[in-house]
Structures are given as C-alpha cells and as structure tokens.
A and B are shown apart, each in its own frame.
Chain A
Amino acid sequence: MPEPSKRSRRFRRVMKKTPGGVTRLMYKKRRPKQAHCAACGKVLPGTPRERAKKLHRISKTSKRPKRPFGGMLCSKCMRTEIIKKARK
C-alpha cells in the first residue's frame, strides 16, 4: 500500500521507465486547465498545458500565437474586434 496521502486521487499517476529498466508508478501533480478564449470560451490551440515550473523553461513564442490578442482571444474573435474598430 502507498502512503496515505497518495491513496487519494489528488495526484495523477504516470507509468515511467526508470534508469534501472523497471517500469514504476510515479505520482505527479495534476495539470491546470487549458487556456480558453475570453470572448467565446473556445479552447485556444497553440497554448501549452503545463505547470508554471515547466512554462518557465519554454520560450515566449512557443507559448502563444504571435498576433494581437494572441493567447487571449481566438482568431475569429480577434478579427471581429479589429473590423469593429475599423468601421467606426
């Protein structure tokens, strides 16, 4: 039996191959929710779903698309926002 704190489903379980060649069960913290569009609520593609510790390692350009409101709005909502401003 694992220790009491690991008996709950607080941690996600991952099978991993150890350097010794044996596959073992590892306990890891759960990932946060995927980034969503602020206007329509769709899942944003091109945004990583990792803990802050790992995000710190990734480059800025690989964390969000390089356009205005990239990583905040989806491409459709961004387009409608820009067209609204242009037609005023």
Chain B
Amino acid sequence: MISIGRLCVKTAGRDAGKTCVVVDVISDKFVLVDGQVRRKRCNIKHLEPLKKTIDIKKEASHEEIVKEFKKLKIEIKAKRPKKKVEKVKEAVKVEKPAEKIEKKKIIKKKPAKEPKATK
C-alpha cells in the first residue's frame, strides 16, 4: 500500500491532519515524507494512506513536490527565510587600575557582623 508517490495524511504530532507524499522507503517501518509537512522520517503507523498517487522519482526535491501539489490544488506554505544575525565582536577588556584592587582588600579586613540576638 505504502510506496513512493503515495499521498498520505499524517495522524500524529504537530503536523497531524496535513497531506504528504512518500518520497523514499527507508525500511519496513519508516518512510521519508514531504509536502505540507516538514521533510522528515516518519513511522508508517503515523500515516493514513489516500487513494491518489503522484509520479515522482525516488528522493525527489521539495521544489518538484510543490509543483506536483499545485496540480492537485493543495497549497504548501513557503518557508520564511531566516534572518541573518551579525555577530558582534566582543570588546577588548580594559585592565582595571591598581587602586581599585587595593580598596577591595581593605574591605575584606573588616570584622564580620555580630550574630543576630535571639528573641
């Protein structure tokens, strides 16, 4: 029943209820799916096969599948391109003046506070 080009509906996970195509059969349990869902390995138990099939090659690209889905009038939302984030170089650390370090040492020498008086 499940072979390359078979249309299916996903029945588990966040992509449940969306249609997809079997692109590759990995083993007797798992297949590679693509379409409205993310291109992913998927368990056969999580698929509900439909009657229709599509003519595609083994491991067809996502763009080919989008073209085939357009013929069946199934919309696929295009992914938004990720924004490039420019990494800011870390500023060079400035060495602290020697005076400040001396002050800290003086603070440590102060006697500790007396314990609180019990009620």
- Encoded as 1 (CB less than 8 Å from any A CB) or 0, chain B from 1 to 32 comes to 00000000101111011000000000000000
User: Are A67 and B48 neighbours in the complex by a CB distance under 8 Å?
Assistant: no
Q: In the bound complex, what is the Cα–Cα distance between A86 and B11 (angstroms)?
A: 10
Q: In the bound complex, what is the Cα–Cα distance between A36 and B83 (angstroms)?
A: 40
A68 interface contact, C-beta 8 A:
yes
Where chain A touches its partner, the secondary structure class is helix
Q: In the bound complex, what is the Cα–Cα distance between A68 and B36 (angstroms)?
A: 14
How many A-B pairs fall under 8 Å by CB?
A: 26
Tally of contact residues, B, Cβ under 8 A: 9
B76 interface contact, C-beta 8 A:
no
Q: How far is the CB of B74 from chain A (nearest CB, A)?
A: 13
A66 interface contact, C-beta 8 A:
yes
Q: In the bound complex, what is the Cα–Cα distance between A53 and B11 (angstroms)?
A: 35
Tally of contact residues, A, Cβ under 8 A: 11
CB-CB under 8 A from B9, the residues of chain A are 82-83, 85-86
Q: In the bound complex, what is the Cα–Cα distance between A37 and B17 (angstroms)?
A: 19
Q: In the bound complex, what is the Cα–Cα distance between A68 and B17 (angstroms)?
A: 8
Q: How far is the CB of A15 from chain B (nearest CB, A)?
A: 22
A35 interface contact, C-beta 8 A:
no
Chain B residues in the interface with A (C-beta under 8 A): 9, 11-14, 16-17, 48, 50
